[in-house]
Amino acid sequence: MARPRLGDHDFWPAERLAAFRARRWRKQRAHLEANSAFYQRLWAGKRPPARLDDLAALPLTTKAMLRDSQAAAPPFGDYLATPPERVMRLHRTSGTSGRPLNIALSAADAAMFATASGRAMHSAGLGPGHLVVHCLNYRLWMGGYTDHATLEATGATVVPFGVGDSEHLIRTIRELGITAIYCTPSYPAVLERVIAERFDGLAPADLGLELALLGGEPGLENQSFRDRIETTWRLTARNLYGISDVLTTVAVECAHNAGLHVVTLDALHAELVAPDGDAPIDWAAGATGELVLTHLKRECQPLVRFRTGDIVTVIATEPCACGRTAPRIRIVGRADDMVVVRGVNVFPGDVAAVVTRFDELSGEFRIRLDAPAPYHRLPVEAELAPGNAAAPALADALAEAIKQATGASAEVTLLAPFELPRSAGKTRRVFREEPS
């Protein structure tokens, strides 16, 4: 199969891109009206607007609606807008926030995913000449085969490793001369421990990796965390953002580290809404809200005004020094990971930025909520770095630093080194214990 042409939409002037997006929306709108029973019902006979700027007149789509649709019309729900025989590929969401969803891709959808997300990966610096190892789940998750196709679209040579067997992975990187890795931000720490325990005299930087494409969970938004990875491995780390229901890679950092470029606006329309309601928020520098996405080109399961659950801040809308005209965003956190402590909104990323400043700590932590809201203190379990012992003064210092950074009072428990689980997949930072 020939590699898709990625295009240069992320460099287009605003007027040219707007005209292109309008043409795509006209076709997508007609497809939805004719073929999506889900949206025919949701819109209750109301026609979707002809202009993207007027989409706020339509109701929002939530993941709960999609789950209900698939429960009533399995396996793909009545938002499947093609005959079932057009489905070429089936994926499933990770299910980290509820029952997994079945995702259907036609051949055209798969090509669109590879092209749009491939442009994002290319923007991060991946391309011909790179030998990249793919270390995400190759089972049903979208981050497996579809992201593999995305990596291939950049022109790089892809090694389909998957998750687990980290010792074998380290040997493979050395034997093949692999230069780039695609994984979650927490996985390098797993590899570091394996190297220390099983490869005498070897350091992470000795593996020769040059580029790390890190996505699937928060991490690189924290500068201390990023600095530690880049120093330990002597490589360049690039942050990626995607959402399986919509597009595997939506936004990515360029060489200037000036925020996540939303380089996929040829395939998506982006909005902001209030996280605690549905009021639209103007897309402008400095604005913060929940990201809402609409497909401009999808056959099987097109989504309109889908609430991603991700809180983002628009950093800039003017062109970047790299020449890309795509707007730039910063991920603040997941709406369902937000903890309200005496009226203060706290995200795991806020805590991570504090924990990683302490040399006595490993950087691993979790927020364990063992009671329903309201919360008067933030319960943080932080793991010690090897060679350090728990001390009340350290716990107090961390609690005070969290208070200074977030405004929320914290109750800190220090855990022994390596007491918290490591994972090659997504790392959970907020644990909400179910009532017995």
Each domain of the chain, given as residue ranges in start order, spans: 1-332, 338-432
pLDDT digits (tens, 9 = 90+) for 218-236: 778 888 889 999 999 999 9
pLDDT digits (tens, 9 = 90+) for 108-137: 999 999 999 999 999 999 999 999 999 998
- Residues of the chain with confidence (pLDDT) below 50: 435-436
Angle of helix 348-355 relative to helix 223-233, nearest 10 degrees, comes to 50
pLDDT at position 98, please? 63
Sequence letter at residue 264: T
Q: Tell me the C-alpha distance between 309 and 82, whole Å.
A: 27
Residues 6+ apart with CB under 8 A from 350: 333, 405, 406
User: pTM (2 decimals)?
Assistant: 0.86
The tokens describing 168, both together, are 């074998």
On the question of a cis peptide bond just before residue 49, with omega within 30 degrees of 0, the verdict is: no
Q: Tell me the C-alpha distance between 37 and 76, whole Å.
A: 12
pLDDT at position 61, please? 98
**Under the phi-then-psi rule, with left for phi > 0, alpha for psi from -120 to 50, and beta for the rest, what region is 230?**
alpha
Q: Tell me the C-alpha distance between 34 and 43, whole Å.
A: 13
pLDDT at position 63, please? 94
State phi, psi for 119 to the nearest 5 degrees: -60, -35
pLDDT at position 96, please? 57
Q: Tell me the C-alpha distance between 89 and 107, whole Å.
A: 8
Q: What is the 3-state secondary structure (H, E, C) of the chain?
A: CCCCCCCCHHHCCHHHHHHHHHHHHHHHHHHHHHHCHHHHHHCCCCCCCCCHHHHHHCCCECHHHHHHHHHHCCCCCCCCCCCHHHCCEEEECCCCCCCCCEEEECHHHHHHHHHHHHHHHHHCCCCCCCEEEECCCCCCCCCCHHHHHHHHHCCCEEEECCCCCHHHHHHHHHHHCCCEEEECCCHHHHHHHHHHHHCCCCCHHHHCCCEEEECCCCCCCCHHHHHHHHHHHCCEEEEEEEECCCEEEEEEECCCCCCEECCCCCCEEEEEECCCCCCEECCCCCCEEEEEEEECCCCCCCCCCEEEEEEEEEEECCCCCCCCCCCEEEEEEEHHHCEEECCEEECHHHHHHHHCCCCCEEEEEEEEECCCCCECCEEEEEEECCCCCCCHHHHHHHHHHHHHHHCCCEEEEEECCCCCCCCCCCCCCEEECCCC
Q: Count CA atoms within 13 Å of residue 264 on its CB side.
A: 34
Closest CA to 89 of 62, 116, 112: 112
CATH topology identical between 1-332 and 338-432 = no
Q: State the architecture of 338-432 in CATH terms.
A: 2-Layer Sandwich (3.30)
Q: State the architecture of 1-332 in CATH terms.
A: 3-Layer(aba) Sandwich (3.40)
pLDDT at position 436, please? 45
